[in-house]
Each structure stands twice: as structure tokens, then as C-alpha cells.
Amino acid sequence: MNKIIIILTFSLVFLAMDYYVWQAIKILIKGINPRLRKIIRVGFWSVTAFTVFLLVAYHTGMPEKWGRGWNTFIMVFIFMNYFSKAFGVVFLLLDDIRRFFIYVKKLFFARDEDSSNASSSQSSEKISRSEFMGKAALIATSIPLISMGYGIISGAHDYRVIRQRVRIPKLPAAFEGLRIAQVSDIHTGSFFNPTAVKGGVEMIMAEKADMIVFTGDLVNNVTAEVKRYIPIFNQLKAPLGVYSVLGNHDYGDYHQWSSAAARKQNMENMYTAHKELGWDLLLNEHRSIKVGTDKIDLIGVENWGAGRFAKYGDLTKAHQGTEADVKLLLSHDPSHWDAQVRPDFPDIDLMMAGHTHGFQFGVEIGDFQWSPSQYIYKQWAGLYQRANQQIYVNRGFGFVGYPGRIGIPPEITILELSRA
């Protein structure tokens, strides 16, 4: 019953929005060949019918039988279609409000001949302004649609290397200039271009980092998603090792499992996948990284997120037994830093996180940064410092949901440690 209500509600909303947008299109095509007008009309409403079909299919589970990726395609198609049209609807609503007030004025204040002249004037003005608002509505619809399309075609795999020096007061001399490559939020279940992904891995290796860390979200929902990409990501190697932790998507929490045993097997498969990748998965534990006689501690916790996100991480357990003067932490969710790391573990010098993706949308020009992500997370992209503690938030290597990026490219981070 709930599914039927959801389908009917969204279908009515889609039909209303399309009816509105069609009014603008009708104005703009009224002077063209009748046959072409008919083709445009049939094409426009065919897309609406196809959208309703996809909505029904999604809520009845049909895409799962069609194959991997269909659920994502449906959600992205519907979102792009109606998110873009919402901008056009705003312009058309403004025009309708304007015409309503003209009608009210004419109804109550018109007078005989003067009224007739005014009405004629208003009528010609109405047509002119309606045409303008119709064109403005279509332009307003086109801009986000084109931007999102470009973000898929160009932005999804437009990997950028971001280099950041991190000053740590007690850094041992042997670790001066240590280069750590951080990768986060790969989300293999979203990828559609293995060749481009391989190019990103080659960019990481070209940096010749001393150590590589991965800060969670290898998959979207199930471990099987990574199988195709293991031969690509197992090429990541570094002299001091490759270390990883789990993110909120890696536990299968967003998948409907047939049984507890199936869910447990999925986690066993995840542990096996990290071994096949050659990554040292830190499950609430730490490693001593040694260079000569000097050492630092690398701590890794399972996912720990504030609010509704799962708290599998046990930082007390992972921290226990650490002895080095400098401690680095891998923790997927940056909200962990303010909630627990800073108040309870002041000896952790640097935390490396991901999770936010920078919302996959925003503006970064020089020192100016803006993204909707900043209204959700205090630390959402780049380096932040409080007293002697720091956190670096990686913008993510992959994507989830919307299969692209606008203004926030996928990131490969090179952190260079330096004594303050």
C-alpha cells in the first residue's frame, strides 16, 4: 500500500511539473512546422511515460533482475530530469503569479474604454513577457541538466593530485619529508569506466609515495562489487606498506540480506578482498612504522560516525599499546574527530578521513571553498587544525548516487610530513 501511495504521489508531481514545462515549450514552438511540433510533443510526453515506468519498476524490484547498475541509472535519470525542471517551474510560476495580478487588476479596476485600451496593451505585454519567461524557464532547466551531464562525462574520472604539507612538532628526524598517498571512498560499485579508473591508479603510483593509506568505502553495498577491480587496485604498492580501514558502506548495512549467514559471509569476503588487494586492513588496531631507529604509530579504526552512522570503531582498543611520540589515525568519518578523537585522545597528531565526497558538488577557487557539504560537516575537505591536532579530509576517489562530480574533482592526496 505504501509503495502504491509513493508511486502515485511522485507520478502526479512529475506530471504537474511536465505540464508546466510543456506550456513554455508550446510558446516557443508555436510557429514551427506542425509535423515537427507533433514530434516534439510525442517525444516530450514519451519521456514522462518512461519516467513513470521507471518509477514503478524501481519500487517493484524489477531492476535487480535486469542487472547491476540499473537502480543507480533510474535514480540518477529521474533526479537529473526533475531537479533541472524544478528551476524552470520557478520561472513559470512567477509568470503565472504576474498574470494573476494583472487579471485581478483588470477585473476590479478596469473602466469602459480606458479599460479596453489597457486590456489590449496588457495583452500584448502579456504575450511578450510570457515568451520571455518561457525562454528563461527553458534556459534555467537546461543549465543544471547540461552541468550534471558534463559532470558525468568529464568530472567522474577527472582525478586531481592535491599536495599538502602537514607540520607535526614531534616528528622524528627519519620521517622528515615522508610522503603519504591517501585514497578514500573508491565505491567500486559505481564505476562504469575501468580504463579511467586504471589511469587514476597509475597517477597514484607515479607519485612514488613512501606509504599509501585508504580511508574506507571500497564498495557501495556488497563486497562482490570490488571483484572486477581487484586487478587494478592491487597495483598500489609503497615501500612502507599500504594500509586500509573500513567505511560505512563496507559493512553491507545498505543491502537487504536473505539471512544473517549471508551478511556474515559478505564481511568475510570483504576481509579477503583487502588481502587480495595486498592492503593491511586495520580493524581497531595499530601498526608501528619504523624507519631506522625512529618510529611512528599508525592507528586504524572501523567506521565511527556521529548521528545515524554506525559506530563499529573502538579507538580505545586501537590506541592501546601505542608508544611512539607521533600518532596518525585512519578513521573514515570526519565527525569522529570532534566527537571523540580531539576530546579523548589529544596525543593523536593527525587523523586522515574521507566520507563527505565534498558532496561531489561545489566551488573551489584559490582559498575560497563552498559546498553543501559544509552545512553537514565542520570538516569536509582539506586540512583543519585545532591546537596541536590536525585532520585531513579527502574528497574521495569515486562517487556514489550521482555518477559524476561538478566543481569537486575526485582526489588523490599526497601528505608530506614535516617537523614544525
Q: State pLDDT tens for residues 170-183.
A: 999 999 999 999 99
Is 3.40.50.150 the CATH number for 158-418?
Answer: no
> Which range has the top average pLDDT, 28-42, 61-75, 136-150?
28-42
Q: Point out which residues pair with 311 in neighbouring strands.
A: 304
Q: How far apart are CA 185 and CA 384, in angstroms?
A: 19
The mean pLDDT of 382-389, rounded to a whole number, is 96
- State pLDDT tens for residues 315-331: 999 999 999 999 999 99
Pairing of strands 242-245, 280-281: parallel
Q: How far apart are CA 299 and CA 280, in angstroms?
A: 12
Percent of the chain at pLDDT above 90?
62
- In the chain, CATH 3.60.21.10 covers 158-418
Average pLDDT, the chain: 90
Percent of the chain at pLDDT above 70?
94
* The pLDDT of residue 137: 79
Q: In this structure, are residues 130 and 97 in contact, taking their beta carbons and an 8 Å threshold?
A: no
**More confident of the two residues 17 and 95:** 17
* The pLDDT of residue 113: 46
Separation in Å, CA 53 to CA 25, 62, 146? 23, 11, 24
| pTM score, whole prediction | 0.82
Q: How far apart are CA 380 and CA 178, in angstroms?
A: 24
pLDDT tier for residue 49 given thresholds of 50, 70 and 90: very high
**H and E: helices and strands count for the chain:** 11, 14
- Closest listed residue to residue 383, CA positions, set 416, 360, 408, 361: 416
Q: Which residues of 242-270 are buried (b: 16+ CB within 10 A; e: fewer)?
A: bbbbbbbbbbbeeeeeeeeeebeebeebb
Running DSSP on this structure, what letter comes out for residue 323? Answer: -
Residue 77 neighbours by CB under 8 Å, 6+ apart: 51, 54
Q: In this structure, are residues 11 and 52 in contact, taking their beta carbons and an 8 Å threshold?
A: yes
Q: How far apart are CA 70 and CA 262, in angstroms?
A: 23
**More confident of the two residues 69 and 374:** 374
Q: In this structure, are residues 54 and 70 in contact, taking their beta carbons and an 8 Å threshold?
A: no
The cell numbers describing 12, all together, are 502526479
* The pLDDT of residue 276: 98
The cell numbers describing 373, all together, are 557539504
